[in-house]
Structure 1
């Protein structure tokens, strides 16, 4: 090879001098690859092509031979009840069965965010009589990143059993902020290559894959039709992705690998998690969602009906519409304090104030406020206890969940208006398939758009980045439907549908 670059091939549209397409459109390859990259590819080819023909989502409990649930293969990963092998971990139980894939996969992928770390890996079903394998999905709290690294070490040790490759062949594809923060720790503990990938690009690759390739993955939600599935479709652009993790990023996606971040908010899953950690005894995010499902936000929020006594039909607001999140708290706390004061159970907030000392004629403490200063505001300890007793952890959880979800939904709608987008996909671990969250986002989108815009959800909403990183290890057209025939891979099909006037726009 001469020089230090290799001219790889990619399709581009050629126009004639006046900008119109040439009569004989020539396609040529223009992606430059360095010698170092070629050497790395030779050493670590990553040439497996995963065949997703006939892929479908399964409940892990239906297939006890799956390594993820620990039944039947003796590897000890997981315990079969939805939890992983360490505290703070969770096996999703929504594996993707790949009945036509038999080749070796020598890598795993992780997406390490501020709150959760998501892991995707392939496994054969060693004790099954039918061919193929599956993609497994596991999550860990980022604060327990060492548990995830230990889990990956276990996968490395079981590589031969899981998918036929040797432990030394393992490669970790990593994305998210933690791919940089924990890069050295993962490399040192596992002794494997760690390849870092751009977070936003991985999100889009993962979402495109789910939308176009996996049946019964994408769905709409309403109270009357909780899970209405959309069929896989290659004609998907443009669309908007609202990715809700610790914070929120909103992406406009115009074509394959063509996207831009158009907005976001810092009030996301981390906000809910943080505030509920202070306000409730919940120990993890799932506990908070369970409490929210049992709560009644009307005991905490001020509703339209609390103000008007009925619907405000003139502007289309129901009596149950939230007028002020947590709007009842201060009023009810004041009422409880007044009741306690009327009952004579009053004490001051100043710890140096001792009524019994005053009665005995003793001198006031020199540290107490002087007469020129206003006295400390009386605070009724009993009143505070009564006020807090009126608000259960479940009610508080549901109120805050609605507050965060409504805020995200409104921002998403406004961004979709600005950019003229009608398909809005909500992803990220904040959602977790939680009915109240999905209903809030979906109802808000329909309400504000007068039914013109649709919110879409995914069964693997928290794993877009991890799946995108997993796919980045593969060559182009890595085994999606028809990819074994030339010109029939996913990106070819998407490229054909992505037109700009009379000239194809190719985005790689």
Structure 2
């Protein structure tokens, strides 16, 4: 039997949470070289050369029991005794689970838009390598040395919020849409009976929307379309072939829903980019989670609308896309922790 962990002074006694509609995102820190006894997202770990700690990330479906189990496995809670000084929490679930979490430590709640602001502030301040990238059949990292501001952020969760960041302190929510990850999950469940988001994403790799969507070149029957491209393969009508195809593959349906969701969001994002004259548009949120099919769909859609308007704008992505909120909560917590410990 594996021995229970004991609390280690190498753990920074802060736990930072972003509790959304379906998932809890956890960010915490430990001294460098501390072995974390929990299944964290190793590819996201941040090793800041200017600090003596590393930042770790993990996520799980919303469940207080699972959260406590993870905190016990890491060593924050030992034999029912919590060694957590403060929880910094954000997201809609911060209200739902407030009373239960408060049993294990003091709680500081962070406005979820402020958490996004602070998350970018942290990433921009340390200029962490391989953080931002474009996607065109593969990831191409941006080596940014200057500030990322100004930019537009399209944060895709269950719903979608669009924010404009003028600088690290000034931002505003300028738009959004209800057609986000929640709609994709709900309609996919309706068509397939599957309610597991990760399984649905796997299905998009196997699927093709050609059997379900009516494409632009099919509308114009090979003649030159108004876009001046007779071989245009972009979507003209989502689910436009359902009526004539009765035996549809479930993976094709899910792929079509992914296109429908990303095309709508990308068009709204591009229009705001044009309206506010800001070239740099970041897409983030746990709907994306660096899934290649999703990245490709957004890139195709955004570039298509840009080309239609004779622009040359491309979408940008963030390696820590689903964790910007919990990372922003961490930024709040670590500033206070340093002040109190005279670091």
- Compute the displacement of 1:281 (Å): 3.7
Deviations 1:280-326 (A, max 9, x none): 14341110010011101111111123322226354245442211111
Change (3 A) 1:201 1:127: closer
Alignment of 1:216 onto 2:130: yes
* SS in structure 2 at match of 1:267: coil
Alignment of 1:443 onto 2:303: no
Alignment of 1:399 onto 2:237: no
User: What pairs with 1:15-164 in structure 2 (closer than 5 Å)?
Assistant: 105-124=12-31, 125-126=33-34, 133-142=53-62, 144-155=63-74, 157=76
Contact 1:211/1:217 (CA < 8 Å) preserved in 2?
Answer: no
Q: Which runs of 5+ in 2 are unaligned?
A: 37-50
* SS in structure 2 at match of 1:472: helix
* SS in structure 1 at match of 2:316: strand
- Compute the displacement of 1:171 (Å): 1.5
- Compute the displacement of 1:473 (Å): 1.1
Deviations 1:437-495 (A, max 9, x none): 2122223323322353231111110000000001101328979xxxx9xxxxxxxxxxx
Contact 2:10/2:30 (CA < 8 Å) preserved in 1?
Answer: no
For residue 199 of structure 1, the aligned residue among 89, 93, 112 is 112
- What residue in structure 2 maps to residue 3 of structure 1? none
* SS in structure 1 at match of 2:240: coil
> What is the TM-score normalised by the length of structure 2?
0.83
Cα distance in 2 for partners of 1:397, 1:426 equals 21
- What residue in structure 2 maps to residue 10 of structure 1? none
Alignment of 1:469 onto 2:326: no
- Compute the displacement of 1:273 (Å): 0.9
Aligned positions, number: 315
* SS in structure 1 at match of 2:266: helix
- What residue in structure 2 maps to residue 262 of structure 1? 174
- Compute the displacement of 1:199 (Å): 0.5
Cα distance in 2 for partners of 1:437, 1:276 equals 15
Alignment of 1:183 onto 2:95: no
Q: Which has the larger radius of gyration?
A: 1
- What residue in structure 1 maps to residue 153 of structure 2? 241
For residue 288 of structure 2, the aligned residue among 426, 431, 447 is 431
Cα distance in 2 for partners of 1:447, 1:186 equals 45
- What residue in structure 2 maps to residue 287 of structure 1? 199
For residue 273 of structure 2, the aligned residue among 416, 435, 438 is 416
Cα distance in 2 for partners of 1:266, 1:253 equals 21
User: Whose relative contact order is higher, 1 or 2, with alpha carbons under 8 Å and at least 6 apart?
Assistant: 2
Cα distance in 2 for partners of 1:126, 1:132 equals 11
- Compute the displacement of 1:252 (Å): 0.3
- Compute the displacement of 1:149 (Å): 3.5
Cα distance in 1 for partners of 2:93, 2:52 equals 32
Cα distance in 1 for partners of 2:278, 2:337 equals 27
For residue 457 of structure 1, the aligned residue among 289, 301, 317 is 317
- What residue in structure 1 maps to residue 44 of structure 2? none
* SS in structure 1 at match of 2:244: helix
- The 4+ residue runs of structure 1 with deviation greater than 6 A are 476-479
Change (3 A) 1:277 1:269: same
Contact 1:296/1:398 (CA < 8 Å) preserved in 2?
Answer: yes
- Compute the displacement of 1:157 (Å): 4.1
Cα distance in 2 for partners of 1:283, 1:153 equals 28
- Compute the displacement of 1:117 (Å): 1.3
- Compute the displacement of 1:138 (Å): 1.1
- Compute the displacement of 1:397 (Å): 0.6
Change (3 A) 1:255 1:319: closer
RMSD: 2.8
Cα distance in 2 for partners of 1:413, 1:441 equals 11
- What residue in structure 2 maps to residue 497 of structure 1? none
Deviations 1:29-86 (A, max 9, x none): xxxxxxxxxxxxxxxxxxxxxxxxxxxxxxxxxxxxxxxxxxxx9668xxxxxxxxxx
Alignment of 1:322 onto 2:235: yes
> What is the TM-score normalised by the length of structure 1?
0.57
Cα distance in 1 for partners of 2:17, 2:205 equals 30
